[in-house]
Structure 1
Amino acid sequence: MAERYWLAANQKEAFGYDISNLLSQRPLFKNSPVSLFNPYIEGEVLMKVGGTLQFSLNIK
Protein backbone atom coordinates (compact mmCIF):
# COMPACT_ATOMS: atom_id res chain seq x y z
CA MET A 1 0.00 0.00 0.00
CA ALA A 2 2.75 2.45 0.92
CA GLU A 3 4.68 1.49 -2.21
CA ARG A 4 1.74 2.42 -4.46
CA TYR A 5 1.39 5.73 -2.61
CA TRP A 6 5.02 6.68 -3.24
CA LEU A 7 4.90 5.51 -6.85
CA ALA A 8 1.81 7.63 -7.46
CA ALA A 9 3.36 10.63 -5.67
CA ASN A 10 6.53 10.42 -7.77
CA GLN A 11 4.56 10.01 -10.98
CA LYS A 12 2.41 13.01 -10.13
CA GLU A 13 5.50 15.11 -9.50
CA ALA A 14 7.20 14.04 -12.74
CA PHE A 15 4.19 13.65 -15.05
CA GLY A 16 1.43 15.74 -13.46
CA TYR A 17 0.17 17.24 -16.72
CA ASP A 18 0.11 13.87 -18.45
CA ILE A 19 -1.77 12.21 -15.60
CA SER A 20 -4.26 15.07 -15.50
CA ASN A 21 -4.87 14.78 -19.23
CA LEU A 22 -5.29 11.00 -19.06
CA LEU A 23 -7.76 11.26 -16.18
CA SER A 24 -9.74 13.88 -18.11
CA GLN A 25 -9.57 11.78 -21.31
CA ARG A 26 -7.75 14.58 -23.11
CA PRO A 27 -4.88 13.93 -25.53
CA LEU A 28 -1.32 14.19 -24.30
CA PHE A 29 0.93 16.96 -25.50
CA LYS A 30 3.01 15.90 -28.50
CA ASN A 31 6.22 16.71 -26.64
CA SER A 32 5.27 14.56 -23.64
CA PRO A 33 8.04 12.09 -22.80
CA VAL A 34 5.48 9.29 -22.35
CA SER A 35 3.29 9.94 -25.40
CA LEU A 36 5.04 7.26 -27.49
CA PHE A 37 4.36 4.56 -24.91
CA ASN A 38 0.54 4.41 -24.98
CA PRO A 39 0.10 5.46 -21.32
CA TYR A 40 -3.04 4.73 -19.33
CA ILE A 41 -4.20 5.13 -15.74
CA GLU A 42 -4.71 2.05 -13.59
CA GLY A 43 -7.12 2.33 -10.70
CA GLU A 44 -7.25 6.13 -10.89
CA VAL A 45 -3.81 6.24 -9.27
CA LEU A 46 -0.90 4.83 -11.25
CA MET A 47 0.12 5.66 -14.80
CA LYS A 48 1.24 2.63 -16.76
CA VAL A 49 2.42 2.23 -20.31
CA GLY A 50 1.50 -0.34 -22.91
CA GLY A 51 3.11 -1.67 -26.02
CA THR A 52 6.73 -2.58 -26.44
CA LEU A 53 9.86 -0.75 -25.47
CA GLN A 54 10.95 -0.19 -29.07
CA PHE A 55 10.90 3.57 -28.52
CA SER A 56 12.64 3.51 -25.14
CA LEU A 57 15.81 5.08 -26.54
CA ASN A 58 13.77 8.19 -27.40
CA ILE A 59 13.37 9.17 -23.74
CA LYS A 60 15.01 12.51 -23.05
Structure 2
Amino acid sequence: MRSLKDLKTENLNIDKTPLRITGEMLEMGLVNTQVLEGWIYSFWKDVDSFISNSGG
Protein backbone atom coordinates (compact mmCIF):
# COMPACT_ATOMS: atom_id res chain seq x y z
CA MET A 1 0.00 0.00 0.00
CA ARG A 2 1.25 3.47 -0.82
CA SER A 3 1.97 6.02 1.87
CA LEU A 4 0.14 9.33 2.17
CA LYS A 5 3.36 11.09 1.17
CA ASP A 6 3.26 9.19 -2.12
CA LEU A 7 -0.27 10.47 -2.78
CA LYS A 8 0.95 14.06 -2.74
CA THR A 9 3.88 13.44 -5.05
CA GLU A 10 2.44 10.96 -7.58
CA ASN A 11 1.40 12.11 -11.00
CA LEU A 12 -2.23 11.90 -12.09
CA ASN A 13 -1.85 8.31 -13.34
CA ILE A 14 -3.08 6.73 -10.10
CA ASP A 15 -3.40 2.97 -10.33
CA LYS A 16 -6.98 2.88 -8.92
CA THR A 17 -5.93 0.91 -5.84
CA PRO A 18 -8.49 1.53 -3.07
CA LEU A 19 -7.12 3.36 -0.06
CA ARG A 20 -8.58 3.58 3.44
CA ILE A 21 -9.86 7.07 4.19
CA THR A 22 -8.22 8.41 7.34
CA GLY A 23 -8.34 11.69 9.21
CA GLU A 24 -4.77 12.35 8.10
CA MET A 25 -5.76 11.90 4.47
CA LEU A 26 -8.65 14.35 4.81
CA GLU A 27 -6.30 16.95 6.32
CA MET A 28 -3.86 16.73 3.40
CA GLY A 29 -5.85 19.03 1.14
CA LEU A 30 -6.19 16.52 -1.67
CA VAL A 31 -8.33 17.37 -4.69
CA ASN A 32 -12.06 16.80 -4.00
CA THR A 33 -11.59 16.42 -0.24
CA GLN A 34 -14.56 18.73 0.33
CA VAL A 35 -16.74 16.55 -1.91
CA LEU A 36 -15.66 13.48 0.04
CA GLU A 37 -16.35 15.18 3.38
CA GLY A 38 -19.82 16.19 2.14
CA TRP A 39 -20.53 12.58 1.26
CA ILE A 40 -19.32 11.43 4.68
CA TYR A 41 -21.52 13.97 6.49
CA SER A 42 -24.55 12.86 4.48
CA PHE A 43 -24.32 9.45 6.20
CA TRP A 44 -22.37 10.03 9.44
CA LYS A 45 -22.53 12.67 12.18
CA ASP A 46 -18.80 13.39 11.91
CA VAL A 47 -15.57 12.17 10.32
CA ASP A 48 -14.50 10.27 13.46
CA SER A 49 -17.74 8.24 13.41
CA PHE A 50 -17.17 7.43 9.75
CA ILE A 51 -13.57 6.32 10.29
CA SER A 52 -14.29 4.25 13.40
CA ASN A 53 -17.55 2.63 12.23
CA SER A 54 -17.21 2.21 8.48
CA GLY A 55 -14.85 0.78 5.92
CA GLY A 56 -13.25 4.21 5.74
Question: Structure 2 length normalisation: TM-score?
Answer: 0.34
- Ranked by relative contact order (alpha carbons within 8 Å, sequence separation 6 or more), the top structure is 2
More strand as a share of residues:
1
